[in-house]
Homo-oligomer: A and B are copies of this chain.
């Protein structure tokens, strides 16, 4: 499957808001986890279906419903029905080919993000879509599969460390976004190291294989950009949002993530420049190397061609070739040939062709 566009064809012709999962199915069953807390209390449990969350919906505590697996229509429909989410949003949740964006409805804010990981073996970026629905006192997070970068957030919630338990659900949403963005730095570090390795390679050992690796790197850069660029706009509009969902005090934190995003984008652009530079460097390296080979070889050939001509001359069978019969001819010819060879060699050296 193309990594730049997911198969949408099966959805062709369906009305807007139709719930069709687009993407690879990564797990069997949807699993739902529910965390409910305020400054004083904390409870965490796995629930079987979304209806168990109804009592928490209007409670004053902050409720975080984490849903792993978004391929099951019925679960998504339940979320829509119980929390009053617009069908177009539900459609977006199930379509894993979204561009990061935020949409501000009156009663909730919808945020789509890309959670990235770097497959060190394949040197490929893996992307997973995370949707956040931020309501008056709940946050619903929907992921494609088990495993995420939110463990540290859960830990802080459990231990009641830092501001998180004292703050509202907007701070929880911020923490989740921050966790995802923070993880981008890890990926950038790895790519940075990879680029430096490649640089070594290109300078010291350029091979046709390098071309493919550089082409692949370019593609990964495209994927990275695609996930990160829209974040800037997203965070910008979250900050300027006048939604009552987001309190003023959270804005400072959103600005902080925004700054991180700018820095990530800067780094990606620098990496792109670096990669482009590597391609140029590879091309000069390979051409320098080729030139060196061709030059030495051609020069060898060039020195011997006149010599071969000389020996050819005395291989002729004419009856009247006076030199043939002289005693020292053979020796003299050798001398001449050595002289020619050496002087050509010196000439090439002096011209810096060797």
A interface residue numbers (CB < 8 A to B): 2, 4-5, 7-9, 11-17, 86, 88, 97-99, 101, 103, 151-152, 155-156, 161-164, 175, 178-179, 182-183, 185-186, 188-189, 192-193, 196, 203, 208, 211-212, 215, 218-219, 222, 226, 252-253, 255-256, 259, 262-263, 266-267, 270-271, 273-274, 277, 279-288, 290-295, 297-302, 304-309, 311-321, 323-330, 333, 351, 353
Within the oligomer, what is the number of copies of this chain? Answer: 5
Give the distance to chain B from A89, nearest Cβ to Cβ, in Å. Answer: 10
Contact status A274-B219, CB under 8 Å: yes
Nearest residue (CB) in B for A206 is B288
> What CA separation (Å) do A173 and B198 show in the bound complex?
43
- DSSP majority for the A interface? helix
Give the distance to chain B from A206, nearest Cβ to Cβ, in Å. Answer: 10
Contact status B189-A222, CB under 8 Å: no
Contact status A12-B304, CB under 8 Å: no
Give the distance to chain B from A110, nearest Cβ to Cβ, in Å. Answer: 11
Contact status A8-B185, CB under 8 Å: yes
> What CA separation (Å) do A202 and B188 show in the bound complex?
29
Can you list 9 A-B pairs with a CB-CB distance of less than 8 A?
A4-B192, A4-B274, A9-B186, A11-B182, A286-B288, A293-B353, A304-B305, A311-B316, A320-B329
* CB-defined contacts of A309 to chain B, threshold 8 Å: 304, 307-308, 311
